[in-house]
Amino acid sequence: MNQEVYKEILSEIPENVQLIAVSKTKPNSEVEAAYALGQRHFGENWAQEVKQKQEDLPKDICWHFIGHLQTNKIKYIIPFVHLIHSIDSFKLLMEVNKLAQKHQRIVGCLLQFHVATEETKFGFSMDECLEMLQDPRFSELKNVEIRGIMGMASLTDDQTQIHHDFHQLHDYFHLMTEKFFANQDSFKEISMGMTDDYKIAIEEGSTMIRVGSAIFGKRNYANK
Ligand SMILES: *Cc1c(COP(=O)(O)O)cnc(C)c1O
CA 212 – ligand 1 centroid, Å: 6
Mean pLDDT of the region 113-117: 92
Atom of ligand 1 nearest to the CA of 150: 13
Average pLDDT over residues 142-155: 97
pLDDT of residue 9: 98
Q: Give dist(CA 80, CA 60) in Å, integer.
A: 11
Q: Which residues of 45-83 are buried (b: 16+ CB within 10 A; e: fewer)?
A: bbbebbbebbeebeeebebbbbbebeeebbebbbebbbb
Bridge partners (DSSP) listed for residue 111:
87, 149
- What distance in Å separates the CA atoms of residue 52 and residue 57, rounded to the nearest whole number? 9
Residue 223 has pLDDT above 60, yes or no: no
In angstroms, what is the span from residue 183 Cα to ligand 1's centroid? Answer: 31
The reported pLDDT for the residue numbered 73 is 98
* Main-chain dihedrals φ then ψ at residue 97, nearest 5 degrees: -60, -45
CB 81 within 8 A of CB 107: yes
| Residue ranges around ligand 1 (CB below 6 Å) | 22, 24, 45, 66-67, 194-196, 210-214
Give residue 79's pLDDT: 98
**Quick one: pLDDT band at residue 218, thresholds 50, 70, 90?**
very high
Query: pLDDT per residue over 2-50, tens digit each?
Result: 999 999 999 999 999 999 999 999 999 999 999 999 999 999 999 999 9
Question: What's the pLDDT at 222?
Answer: 63
How many Cβ atoms from other residues are within 10 Å of residue 44's Cβ? 27
pLDDT tens-digit series, residues 194-211: 999 999 999 999 999 999
Average pLDDT, the chain: 96
pLDDT digits (tens, 9 = 90+) for 75-101: 999 999 999 999 999 999 999 999 999
**Ligand 1, atom 11: nearest CA belongs to which residue?**
210
d(C-alpha 110, C-alpha 6), whole Å: 25
Taking the centre of ligand 1 as the mean of its atom positions, its distance from the CA of residue 153, in whole angstroms, is 11
Q: How confident is the model at residue 119 (pLDDT cuts 50, 70, 90)?
A: confident
For the segment 122-136, what is each residue's pLDDT rounded down to a tens digit?
Answer: 899 999 999 999 999
159, 200 contact by CB (below 8 A): yes
Which residue from 173, 97, 190, 84 is spatially nearest to 139, judged by alpha carbons? 97
Of the chain, the percentage scoring pLDDT greater than 70 comes to 98
DSSP for 162-205, please give it: HHHHHHHHHHHHHHHHHHT-TT-TT--EEE---TTTHHHHHHTT
Which one of 194, 195, 206, 213 would you pick to mutate in the ligand 1 pocket, going by the greatest count of ligand atoms within 8 A of its CB?
194
Q: Which atom of ligand 1 is nearest to the CA of 195?
A: 9
pTM: 0.97
